[in-house]
Amino acid sequence: MEPALHRNTWLEINTTNICYNIKQQQKQLPPGTVIFAVVKANGYGHGAVEVARTAIKAGAKGLCVAVLDEALSLRAARITVPILVLAPIRAEDVALAQLKDISVPITSAEYWQKLVPFISAEKPLKAHLVIDSGMGRIGVRTATELSSLEQQIRQETFVELEGVFTHFATADQLNQVYFNRQLRVFEEMVAVLKERPLYVHCSNSATALLHSQLQQSSVRLGIGMYGLSPSPEIVEALPYQLRPALSLYSQLIHVKWVEGGETIGYGATYTVKAPGEWIGTIPIGYADGWLRDRTGSQVIVADQFCEIVGRVCMDQCMIRLPQRYPLQTKVTLIGQDKTKQLTADDVAHYTDTINYEIICLLSDRIPRVYTE
Query: Is 141 one of the annotated binding-site residues?
Result: no
Instruction: Report yes or no on 254 lying in a domain.
Output: yes
Residue 363, domain member (yes or no)? no
- Write the CB contacts of 129 (distance below 8 Å, at least 6 apart in sequence): 105, 106, 140, 146, 149, 150, 153, 161, 163, 164, 165, 193, 197
State the DSSP code for 138.
S
* CA torsion angle 202 203 206 208 (round to 10): 150
370 within some domain = no
Percentage of the chain modeled with pLDDT above 90: 99
pLDDT of residue 302: 98
pTM: 0.96
| pLDDT band at residue 15 using 50, 70 and 90 as cut-offs | very high
Say what the pLDDT of residue 1 is.
Answer: 80
Q: How many domains does the chain have?
A: 2
Per DSSP, the three-state class of 327 is coil
- Same domain flag for 282 and 163: no
Last residue of a domain, one of 202, 233, 264: 233
DSSP-derived letter for residue 140 is B
Residue 126 and residue 266 in one domain: no
Is residue 357 domain-resident? no
Residues 31 and 90 occupy one common structural domain: yes
Tens of pLDDT along 117-165?
999 998 999 999 999 999 999 999 999 999 999 999 999 999 999 999 9
Domain span at residue 294?
Answer: 246-342
Catalytic positions are 40, 266
Q: SS3 breakdown of the chain: % helix, strand, coil, rounded to 5?
A: 35, 25, 40
Q: DSSP secondary structure string, 259-314?
A: ETT-EESGGG-EEPPSSEEEEEEES--GGGT--GGGTT-EEEETTEEEEEES---S
> What beta strand segments (E) does 72-198 contain?
83-85, 102-106, 125-130, 159-165
Mean pLDDT across the chain: 97
Q: Is residue 203 domain-shared with residue 71, that is, in the same domain?
A: yes
Residues 206, 147, single domain; the answer is yes
Instruction: Enumerate residues 6+ apart whose C-beta is below 8 A from 142.
Output: none
Residues 158 and 227 in one domain: yes
Angstrom CA distances, 8 to 19, 256, 279, stand at 28, 18, 17
**Is residue 314 part of an annotated ligand binding site?**
yes
